[in-house]
Amino acid sequence: MHHLHARLLVCHIRRARLQAHAVAIAEAVKLLDDLGAEALPGGPLGDQRGLFWLTVPAMEVDAAVSRLPRLGYTVAVDLLEPSATNGRIHTRQRRDDRRRLRWRGRDYNILRAYEEDAGEARERAPDRRTFVLDTAAGARAVRGYRGDGGDLSRRGLPVCDARLLVNLAGGARAKTLLDPFAGAGGAALEAIACARYVFTCDRDAALRFGLRALGARHYVADACCLPFRAASIEAIATEPPYDASARDVVLQAFGEMARVLTVGGRVALLTTPDQAAGLRPLAASLGLAVEVDSAINRKGMDCVALVCSKPVPGYTQGGNIGAEEQSMELKELVEILACPIDKQPVRMEENWIICSYCDAHYPIQDGIPCMLIEEAKYPNGKKNADQPAPTAS
């Protein structure tokens, strides 16, 4: 990108994620890549710790700045404008906040294009949010819900990590985004701000009201038997359970994620190093390309950010679930659902989602489909039990 037609962004990495330099760059590039953003190997103020640099076409600066609040690992961004622009100040910047520097023989104005509102970010944290749980005494609002502490349960995902996952998965431009290990809904909450249709799955029925209340289209479902048709989801962002006993579950669920991912779609995960070691060869065997594979230390916890895509030449994003303005009410959502047993199409009748092949009936409870295999009913007897299901499309 020619420097005369580009603007330089100086990005400041979150203090608690300074060691995740490569991931912070990848996140920002993926958030802005459709605007022509490119990472630079170096830039001004290079003696300061925790910086990286992006160039953006001058005509796309306003669009880029409007997206910066979605960043997770970047807390502030400075815009460098050549002083030859006669000191034009960005609309978000007060004139008395200007600074200047000289770089590569030119004078620049440093304009603070974005800075995270620490108070607002704090209020979005899992320990400040209210989450609705289904208890023996009925639905109850719980402040600060972070999981039940079980080995296979998810903790509350920090806001910065939730945003990171959504951005790495390409959620800013995806029509459909899924979190198959939804837990307390951290990724879903951030995805709702940008993706058009956000789906969550969790086999724990106690979470169903809370996840639906966030605004996601929720299913009580097993990540290892996802109730979606093949190639129906454009972006997947999730943090599976970290316990060692969850390794096989995560690997099996990853195969399901690959199945439902559209051509050109991305799946972004935060996993343990042990899980990542199994996911790398599995991704290759499934025909997925690894785009990001980077270690992160989160306050003493080692994990890996892993991003894989399903590459096929000639891919055009979008158009997988109907017209641009299609209403995604429950009846229309059936268009992308599939029976978790045999992956065949389903239909909706009254308070049931019914498999067209095996006639499994999945209940719709309080408007939320329960797509767990063990909850399937067969009021008319199980059909085609002795015949292999057709190849799912």
Of 63, 96, 116, the residue at which a domain comes to its end is 116
Residue 333 is assigned to a structural domain of this protein: no
Model pLDDT for residues 273-299, shown as the tens digit of each residue: 999 999 999 999 999 999 999 999 887
- Sign of the Cα pseudo-torsion (91, 95, 98, 104, in order): positive
Q: Do both 275 and 131 map to the same domain?
A: yes
Residue with token string 């802005």: 32
In this prediction, residues 68-90 reach a mean pLDDT of: 81
> Tell me, what DSSP letter sits at residue 153?
P
Q: Tell me: pLDDT of 321 over 50.
A: no
Q: Which two tokens stand for residue 120?
A: 């607002």
Q: What pLDDT does 323 receive?
A: 31
Residue 98 in this model has a pLDDT that exceeds 60: no
In a domain, 93, yes or no: yes
Its pTM stands at 0.88
Q: Which amino acid is at 134?
A: D
Can you tell me whether residue 287 is helix, strand or coil? Answer: coil
Among the three residues 74, 99, 116, which one is the final residue of a domain in this structure? 116
Calpha distance 389→367 (Å, rounded)? 29
- How far apart CA 323 and CA 113 sit, in angstroms, is 36
131 & 110 share domain: no
User: Considering only 7-11, 62-66, 140-144, which range has the smallest mean pLDDT?
Assistant: 140-144
Average pLDDT, the chain: 87
318 within some domain:
no
Q: Pairing state of beta strands 130-135 and 138-143? A: antiparallel
Q: Which residues of 222-251 are buried (b: 16+ CB within 10 A; e: fewer)?
A: bbbbbbbbbbbbbbbbbbbbbeeebbebbe
First and final CA of the chain: distance in angstroms?
41
Residue 327 belongs to a domain: no
Q: Tell me the mean pLDDT in the region 191-210.
A: 91
Verify that 136 and 277 share a domain, yes or no: yes
Does 207 lie in the same domain as 65? no
| Structure letter (DSSP) for residue 73 | S
Residue 238: domain span: 121-217+229-309
Number of domains in the chain: 3
Query: Distance between CA atoms of 331 and 341, rounded to whole angstroms?
Result: 20
Rg (CA), the chain: 23
Considering the domain architecture, whether residues 126 and 101 belong to the same structural domain is answered as no
Residue count of the chain: 393
Q: Are residues 154 and 106 in the same domain?
A: no
CATH of the domain at 247: 3.40.50.150
pLDDT score at 172? 79
Q: Are residues 44 and 181 in the same domain?
A: no
Tell whether 9 and 149 lie within a shared domain. Answer: no
Per mean pLDDT, which range of 24-38, 153-167, 256-270 is the poorest? 153-167
Residues 9, 230: Cα–Cα separation, whole Å? 39
Lay out the sheet containing 176-179: strands in order across.
Answer: 217-220, 197-202, 176-179, 233-238, 261-271, 301-309, 289-298
What's the rounded mean pLDDT across residues 328-342? 81
153, 258: one domain: yes
CB 194 within 8 A of CB 171: yes
Decide if 134 is inside a domain. Answer: yes
Is residue 321 a part of any domain in this protein?
Answer: no
Contacts of 188 (CB under 8 A, 6+ apart): 179, 182, 198, 200, 211, 214, 215, 216
CATH number for the domain that contains residue 372: 2.20.25
Query: Which tokens go with 233?
Result: 């989801």
CA distance 234 to 65: 25
Give dist(CA 384, CA 358) in Å, integer: 6
DSSP 42: -
Q: Quick one: average pLDDT of 122-141?
A: 88
CATH number of the domain bearing residue 12: 3.30.70.1110
Cα(135)–Cα(373) distance, rounded to whole angstroms?
22
Q: Which of 177, 181, 182, 155 is nearest to 167 (CA)?
A: 177
In this structure, the answer to whether residues 260 and 283 fall within a common structural domain is yes
Residue 323 maps to a domain: no
Judgement on whether residues 37 and 50 belong to the same structural domain of the protein:
yes
Say whether both 126 and 110 belong to one domain. no
Of 309, 329, 350, the one marking the end of a domain is 309
**Distance (Å) of CA 280 to CA 251, 286, 288, 304:** 10, 10, 9, 11
Among 75-84, 213-222, 275-284, 352-361, name the one with the lowest average pLDDT: 75-84
Share of the chain above pLDDT 90, in %: 66
